[in-house]
Amino acid sequence: MPTSVTMPELGESVTEGTVTQWLKQEGDRVEADEPLLEVATDKVDTEIPAPAAGVLSRILVSEDETVGIGAEIAVIGGEDEAAGGGGGQAEAPAAEAPAAEPREQAPAPAPEPEPAPQPQAAAPAEPDPEPAPTSQPRPSREDVTPPVDVETVSGTGRSADTDAVTEAYVTPLVRKLAAEEGVDLGTVQGTGVGGRIRKQDVQEAAARKRRGGQAGGGGGRAPAPARRPVVADTKLRGTTETMSRLRQTIADQMAESLRISAEVTQVVEVDVTDIARLRDRAAAQFEEREGVELGFFPFFALATVEALKAHPKLNAVINSADYEVTYHSLENLGISVDTDPGLLVPVVKDAGDLNLGGLARKIADLTERAHTGSLNPDELSGGTFTLADTGAVGALFDTPIINQPQVGILSTGAVVKRPVVVDDPELGEVIAVRSMMYLALTHDHRLIDSADAARFLQDLRARLEEGAFEAEVGLA
């Protein structure tokens, strides 16, 4: 029985998907749960597995075509069809066998060994019969994306054997990604069927490479900017390319947000010296207990969630058609993550129910999986307020754009030590070195006035400057 392949559910807020690449072609045999195609959505890129084993008899949706959830995209023929087709071909030679007997008595077998060297000459082409169905679309794809993906991968020391393996198990998309990330495919262990190297394998290898480069210096974010201008950015000079689907989505959403909301940004300065000292005291114990490092960001997340509970206007959604406002009863905190493909915002669901350790673990998990491409669409939707870690790239502050349909987004700047005038109980005003940062809140002026935003920021600043998180880090 033929099996229909449909565009699957890809998340509660996802209504359509774009076929970015077929991993199998018509006539190819597929196994159940074997990756069949790659699909991109507004939220995430993912591989779609085959729902049944058989032969891919028809592809109904071409690459770069967008269809709705539930639409039929391919047909897989059943096991009986595959067996039937093979049996028919086997019977024909059997029927001809008697007629061929006189020919077998002729001296024809003598010249037959002579072509034996020809199979050896053709041996390097052996991989062609297997990827033959996929080799036809590859030239057009590689023509569109210049040979950087092949040339860079072939760099040094690649033999004919590795060429065959790469051709058989690595798609052009994966080769291109490996080239952009500077990942040697010879060092990557494929997790796909038959050892095929998947996109996720390259992303995980790239993430490990980044972490390895960060281990020595402690300034983990510095190597990335140093690498990108050499490997990625400089090769873009003088070129023209189509934006990736993720980049297109970000562009459309940011422009739409500015069109919909009356966005105003307010900035306050915060002294987080007490938190910095608390981190120094509790970092080792916290990491041993929670399994993650104790950075500044979890403190900012916890204080933000507490402030949202006290200021529900910042945790709301506006129905513009009816001029209705819905105030959320929970805090789903979106966390912006800078990945190589583009900005992603995974969501910490029910963040208001988590303590500092729970937030730290969840943020670390979502951030790691955002970099390795293993988030599911539901983890990228449902946010009620967004927290952007601008300080992660060294910026003091920015003016973030609201992530629709939310009404607010908070940007946390870099924590820097500098001289500040402080009031000393005994000496009066003195200059001291303090750990300082900026909080930038962009809010929708349709609902939130500047005074509302100021009260939210003042409460948030007071919570952070108080620094009373001893119980949260296990020192109480």
Tell me if residue 42 is catalytic.
no
> Of 331, 327, 365, which is closest to residue 351 (Cα–Cα)?
331
What are the start-end ranges of the E strands in 314-396? 316-319, 324-327, 333-335, 337-338, 343-344, 347-348, 385-388
As a whole number of angstroms, the distance between CA 315 and CA 322 comes to 19
Q: What is the DSSP track for 227-284?
A: HHIIIIIGGGTT---PPPHHHHHHHHHHHHHHHHS-EEEEEEEEE-HHHHHHHHHHHH
Residue 419 tokens read as 């001289």
Check if the beta carbon of residue 333 is closer than 8 Å to that of residue 325.
Answer: no
Task: For residue 466, give every residue at least 6 positions away whose Cβ sits within 8 Å of its Cβ, in sequence order, or none.
Answer: 274
Residue 233 tokens read as 């950015």
Tell me whether strands 316-319 and 333-335 are parallel, antiparallel or unpaired.
unpaired
Tell me if residue 445 is catalytic.
yes
Task: For residue 445, give every residue at least 6 positions away whose Cβ sits within 8 Å of its Cβ, in sequence order, or none.
Answer: 261, 262, 263, 264
As a whole number of angstroms, the distance between CA 276 and CA 299 comes to 10
> Of 302, 325, 330, which is closest to residue 410 (Cα–Cα)?
302
Give the 3-state secondary structure of residue 150: helix
As a whole number of angstroms, the distance between CA 379 and CA 366 comes to 8
As a whole number of angstroms, the distance between CA 26 and CA 5 comes to 13
Give me the catalytic one of 378, 398, 445, 452: 445
> Catalytic positions, please?
445, 449
